[in-house]
């Protein structure tokens, strides 16, 4: 049976509502927030991302801006490309979709990178991008905020640029970011409302080309 680009199988449509948005609609919707899609560090979350139709277009738009501004300086181009990728997030309940999404976004990045810098491209930069996509595009249920099998809570990393080339990573529990009402139901040891927007983990500053270099970051 011939399937269209928007469907993988009837079963997946029935089980998970998996119908992909076509490119024209994606662009029309993103044009509603055009300025944000062209801001290199604007944060986007696609909460049922499939293979990343919206994120793919956001990345293309951001990287076009990075190209325009920094094509003559490889270090700056890489630094801003890392910032562009570090600010996009996705979740999907199907593990293969999350994986496909990561690979697709990496391939988009790599096409831009290779076209511009050819054999001067650095493997450290590619490793950093892969690492960011591992952390930002997650396999999880966006309704109960947990991994569908392990039931571990979904944790997202916030990445902030510090002093040019360094990155600060802070991890947050996705549920708390979404359900502001939790703010009133959580209490610390003194019976005070606990700050829910506190990170569950903070990491030392790291150079943007060193992400994924070892297990500690």
Ligand X SMILES: C[S@@+](CC[C@H](N)C(=O)[O-])C[C@H]1O[C@@H](n2cnc3c(N)ncnc32)[C@H](O)[C@@H]1O
Q: Which residues bind ligand X (CB under 6 A)?
A: 16-21, 46, 48-50, 53-54, 91-94, 97, 141-143
Q: Please choose, from the candidates 130, 123, 109, the residue with its C-alpha nearest in 3D space to the C-alpha of residue 55.
A: 109
CB of 200 to ligand X, least distance (A): 21
How do the residues of the chain divide into helix, strand and coil, expressed in percent and rounded to 5? 45, 15, 35
Cα–Cα dist 83/77, whole Å: 10
**Is the Cβ of residue 134 or residue 141 nearer to ligand X in the bound state?**
141
CB of 216 to ligand X, least distance (A): 30
**Is the Cβ of residue 78 or residue 92 nearer to ligand X in the bound state?**
92
**Is the Cβ of residue 52 or residue 212 nearer to ligand X in the bound state?**
52
Other CB atoms within 10 A of residue 206 CB = 20
CB of 153 to ligand X, least distance (A): 14
One DSSP character per residue, 155-193 reads EEEEEEEETTTEEEEEEEEHHHHH-GGGGGT-B-TTSSB
What are the strands, taking DSSP E only, across the chain? 44-46, 88-92, 137-139, 155-162, 166-173, 201-202, 206-207
**Is the Cβ of residue 77 or residue 145 nearer to ligand X in the bound state?**
145
**Is the Cβ of residue 45 or residue 125 nearer to ligand X in the bound state?**
45
**Is the Cβ of residue 82 or residue 94 nearer to ligand X in the bound state?**
94
Q: Please choose, from the candidates 76, 40, 46, 77, the residue with its C-alpha nearest in 3D space to the C-alpha of residue 59.
A: 40
CB of 199 to ligand X, least distance (A): 23
End-to-end CA separation in angstroms for the chain? 46
Element of type H or E holding 28: helix 23-31
CB of 14 to ligand X, least distance (A): 12
Cα–Cα dist 18/21, whole Å: 10
CB of 136 to ligand X, least distance (A): 15
The phi, psi pair for 92, rounded to 5°, reads -145, 145
């Amino acid at each position: 049976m011939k399937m269209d680009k928007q469907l993988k199988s009837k079963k997946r449509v029935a089980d998970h509502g998996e119908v992909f948005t076509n490119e024209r609609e994606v662009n029309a919707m993103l044009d509603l927030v055009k300025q944000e899609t062209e801001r290199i560090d604007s944060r986007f979350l696609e909460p049922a991302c499939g293979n990343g139709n919206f994120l793919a277009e956001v990345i293309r738009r951001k990287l076009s801006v990075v190209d325009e501004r920094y094509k003559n300086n490889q270090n700056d181009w890489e630094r801003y490309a890392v910032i562009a990728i570090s600010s996009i997030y996705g979740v999907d309940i199907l593990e293969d979709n999350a994986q496909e999404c990561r690979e697709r976004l990496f391939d988009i990045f790599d096409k831009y990178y290779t076209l511009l810098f050819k054999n001067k491209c650095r493997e450290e930069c590619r490793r950093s991008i892969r690492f960011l996509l591992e952390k930002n595009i997650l396999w999880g249920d966006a309704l109960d905020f947990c991994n569908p099998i392990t039931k571990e809570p979904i944790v997202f990393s916030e990445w902030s640029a510090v002093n040019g080339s360094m990155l600060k990573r802070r991890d947050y529990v996705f549920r708390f970011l979404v359900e502001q009402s939790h703010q009133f139901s959580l209490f610390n040891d003194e019976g005070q409302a606990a700050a829910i927007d506190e990170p569950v983990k903070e990491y030392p500053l790291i150079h943007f080309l060193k992400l994924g270099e070892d297990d500690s970051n």
